[in-house]
């Protein structure tokens, strides 16, 4: 994007561990201002650590708009929980995301994905279906209540990323998404194998993954995640739209 500061071919050549290190330990050296169209306060920042500078998205807890159905001040924790889930599954859907103190208090800090804003879900063709199948399964797993078309970003390497996971992991069914292409279809076996690993880990009270999610979510939200994984393993099919709202608004 022409109006986004360019810090080189980030994160080409950087390992995920190095990116997380910069996000967690780096100094916020510049704040470019609020990002347009965000419902909560969202800042584009430059963050630097040991001569590596990254562009990131900072969402401070203090800037979260209260919601009637989600506990106040929890959206940044859900952003981090979505990243940890994506990484545990091995699906690389959510950009590297940390929870840390910033200039405006604690919040989520996520690697900015350079992309063409004119390209989103509604302009994708069938070549992206394998990645969209993974994203659709992920959204059910985390109970995403706001998968808009503009939350699907395609980077310069053709990798599909999902962003904006602040309203996820509710204990009640909240799935609202634009991705219903695969409703009722069988979930590919490799994805089901990953879901089974997720289910097993969350059922193990000693697993580090479960402990990490329990530090970010309420106990009933973690249990609801177990239940959703169990449901996918039992049906082995993508969910279908049910009663109530199934699409986010606006859709983009």
pLDDT of residue 8: 39
Asked if 57 and 44 count as a contact pair (C-beta separation under 8 A), the reply is: yes
Report percent pLDDT > 90 for the chain: 87
**Confidence check: pLDDT of 1 > 80:** no
* 251 within some domain: no
* 198 within some domain: yes
Determine if residue 99 is left, alpha or beta; phi over 0 gives left, psi from -120 to 50 gives alpha, anything else beta: beta
pLDDT of residue 227: 98
Q: How far is CA 43 from CA 48, 55, 82, in A?
A: 16, 11, 19
* 53 within some domain: yes
Domain hosting 201: range is 16-235
Whole-prediction pTM: 0.94
CA distance 1 to 163: 17
pLDDT band at 4 (very low <50, low <70, confident <90, very high): low
Q: How many domains does the chain have?
A: 1
Q: Tell me which of 23 and 242 has the higher pLDDT.
A: 23
Mean pLDDT of the chain: 93
Q: At what angle do helices 189-203 and 75-89 cross, to 10 degrees?
A: 120
pLDDT of residue 5: 56
Average pLDDT over residues 105-118: 95
* 69 within some domain: yes
1: which residues sit within 8 A by CB, 6+ positions away? Answer: 114, 115, 116, 117
* 138 within some domain: yes
* 156 within some domain: yes
pLDDT band at 2 (very low <50, low <70, confident <90, very high): very low
pLDDT of residue 242: 85
* 130 within some domain: yes
pLDDT of residue 13: 79
Kindly report, residue by residue over 151-209, the tens digit of the pLDDT. Answer: 999 999 999 999 999 999 999 999 999 999 999 999 999 999 999 999 999 999 999 99
Q: Tell me which of 103 and 144 has the higher pLDDT.
A: 144
* 243 within some domain: no
């Amino acid at each position: 994007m022409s109006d986004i500061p360019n810090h080189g071919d980030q994160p080409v050549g950087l390992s995920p561990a190095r990116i997380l290190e910069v996000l967690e330990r780096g100094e916020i050296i510049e704040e470019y201002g609020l990002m347009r169209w965000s419902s909560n306060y969202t800042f584009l920042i430059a963050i630097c650590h040991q001569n590596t500078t990254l562009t990131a998205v900072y969402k401070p807890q203090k800037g979260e708009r209260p919601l009637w159905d989600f506990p106040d001040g929890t959206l940044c924790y859900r952003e981090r929980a979505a990243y940890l889930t994506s990484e545990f599954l091995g699906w690389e859907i959510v950009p590297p995301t940390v929870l840390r103190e910033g200039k405006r208090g604690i919040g989520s800090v996520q690697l900015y994905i350079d992309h063409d804003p004119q390209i989103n879900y509604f302009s994708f063709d069938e070549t992206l279906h394998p990645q969209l199948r993974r994203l659709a399964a992920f959204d059910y797993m985390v109970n995403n209540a706001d998968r808009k078309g503009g939350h699907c970003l395609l980077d310069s390497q053709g990798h599909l990323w999902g962003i904006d996971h602040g309203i996820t992991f509710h204990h009640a069914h909240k799935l609202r998404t634009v991705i219903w292409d695969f409703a009722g279809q069988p979930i590919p076996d490799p994805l089901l194998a990953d879901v089974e690993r997720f289910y097993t880990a969350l059922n193990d009270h000693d697993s580090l993954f479960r402990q990490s999610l329990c530090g970010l979510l309420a106990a009933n939200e973690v249990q609801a995640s177990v239940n959703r994984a169990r449901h996918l393993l039992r049906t082995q099919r993508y969910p279908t739209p049910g009663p109530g709202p199934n699409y986010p608004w606006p859709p983009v």
